[in-house]
């Protein structure tokens, strides 16, 4: 096979190489109560929000409740906003995340001049059933037209950097809708080399221990940071991805990758034209996460077209769609594909591009599958697992 690519054969060694420790022998956390919450993740759990003393992010982001309802925010409401900010911070163009249970059920970024209202409706309708009772988070001030679209259905709350004059009055027409404001989203650390300004994550374990790790920051700042011609060597042969991604595929790859950072592993995100078609999250097997995301993409497309999904014969139901929703889409995987089966499955349903970390011992088989299906594939050379 002709070699034209960037050699990524050694990527798999990253998974066997320890990362040099940068954390001290002792850690002291001083917490200051910020507010009591309505309840924790469930009504029988009390909860309060604390700020970590000495960590500037609390003051920096200044997440605050502008309008309370139903007794205030629950722990899940607050976490939804924080998780959405972790995704939205990667986007310099207008974008919106519709959050459900700490995962984007729908996401849309500006593409060819979409209005904020268009973006909200696209993110909402990407998974309209899950959007019921969601938290909607924007990276731009909410305008009146978008506010009217929001109150046309039921959402738990809206969070944004600001609200245009008159918007709070429109949103407050919904009795239980909460309004949340935050600051300086664009200045949050997001890429490798950024000043972390206290960005670390303590994970409290049920063993009297606390795991502390660095906040995830990506090395992928734009298309030039992707390896779009990955080459791997196997037993003297060279395998390289033959087709370059189109500009549209590149933008969708980046969108899918950044959204995947906010998804629980195993995570699969399908995107076309800047909008998520499906988010597969929390599966125990890679190909199962792919299959789940594909099924969801068809189900959500049928919802949009008013077609009843036949759970016994889903394939027959799909025949009623006006178009294949997956045709021309790209898929992000938060970790490498251990086998080529996921690629074959995606190609069967019309997916044309893939973005993934790379590093499987069977990368050569995955590249073979991509070339057989005339797909594009980019390597990030970084993994974005998220578990808890």
- Identify the CATH number of the domain in which residue 129 sits: 3.40.140.20
| The domain boundary residue, chosen from 187, 205, 232 | 187
Residue 132 lies in a domain: yes
pLDDT tens for residues 19-57? 776 777 887 778 888 888 888 888 888 988 888 776 666
Q: Helix 286-305 crosses helix 341-348 at what angle (to 10 degrees)?
A: 10
Q: Are residues 182 and 224 in the same domain?
A: no
| The domain boundary residue, chosen from 172, 187, 202 | 187
- Residue 55, domain extent: 33-187
54 Cβ neighbours under 8 A, 6+ residues apart: 30, 198
Residue 272 lies in a domain: yes
Q: Are residues 364 and 232 in the same domain?
A: yes
Q: At residue 1, does pLDDT exceed 80?
A: no
Average of per-residue pLDDT across 133-154: 97
Q: Are residues 228 and 375 in the same domain?
A: yes
pLDDT value at residue 55 = 66
Average of per-residue pLDDT across 309-326: 78
pLDDT value at residue 2 = 44
Q: Are residues 67 and 165 in the same domain?
A: yes
pLDDT tens for residues 335-375? 999 999 999 999 999 999 999 999 999 999 999 999 999 99
Average of per-residue pLDDT across 101-108: 95
Number of domains in the chain: 2
């Amino acid at each position: 096979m002709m070699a034209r690519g960037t050699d990524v054969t050694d990527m798999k060694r990253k998974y066997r190489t320890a990362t040099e420790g940068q954390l001290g022998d002792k850690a002291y956390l001083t917490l200051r109560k910020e507010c009591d919450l309505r309840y924790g993740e469930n009504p029988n759990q009390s909860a309060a929000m604390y700020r970590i003393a000495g960590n500037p992010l609390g003051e920096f982001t200044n997440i605050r409740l502008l309008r309370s309802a139903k007794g205030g925010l629950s722990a899940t409401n607050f976490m939804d906003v924080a998780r959405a900010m972790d995704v939205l911070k990667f986007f310099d163009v207008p974008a919106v995340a519709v959050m459900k249970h700490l995962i984007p059920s729908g996401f849309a970024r500006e593409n060819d001049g979409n209005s904020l209202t268009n973006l909200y409706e696209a993110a909402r309708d990407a998974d309209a059933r899950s959007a019921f009772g969601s938290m909607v988070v924007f990276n731009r001030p909410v305008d009146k037209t978008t506010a009217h679209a929001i109150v046309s259905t039921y959402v738990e709350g809206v969070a944004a950097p600001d609200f245009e004059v008159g918007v709070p009055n429109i949103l407050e027409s919904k009795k239980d809708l909460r309004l949340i404001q935050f600051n300086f989203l664009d200045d949050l650390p997001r890429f490798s080399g950024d000043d972390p300004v206290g960005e670390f994550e303590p994970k409290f374990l049920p063993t009297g221990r606390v795991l502390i790790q660095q906040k995830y920051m990506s090395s992928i700042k734009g298309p030039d940071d992707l390896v779009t011609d990955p080459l791997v060597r196997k037993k003297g042969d060279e395998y390289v991805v033959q087709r370059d991604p189109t500009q549209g595929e590149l933008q969708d790859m980046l969108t899918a990758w950044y959204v995947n950072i906010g998804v629980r592993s195993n995570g699969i995100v399908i995107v076309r034209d800047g909008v998520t078609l499906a988010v597969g999250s929390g599966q125990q097997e890679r190909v199962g996460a792919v299959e789940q995301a594909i099924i969801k993409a068809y189900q959500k497309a049928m919802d949009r077209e008013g077609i009843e999904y036949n759970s016994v014969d889903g394939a027959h139901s799909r025949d009623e769609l006006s178009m294949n929703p997956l045709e021309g889409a790209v898929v992000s995987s938060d970790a490498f594909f251990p086998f080529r089966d996921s690629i074959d499955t995606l190609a069967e349903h019309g997916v044309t591009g893939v973005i993934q970390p790379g590093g499987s011992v069977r990368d050569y088989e995955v590249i073979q599958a991509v070339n057989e299906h005339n797909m594009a594939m980019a390597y990030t050379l970084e993994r974005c697992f998220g578990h808890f």
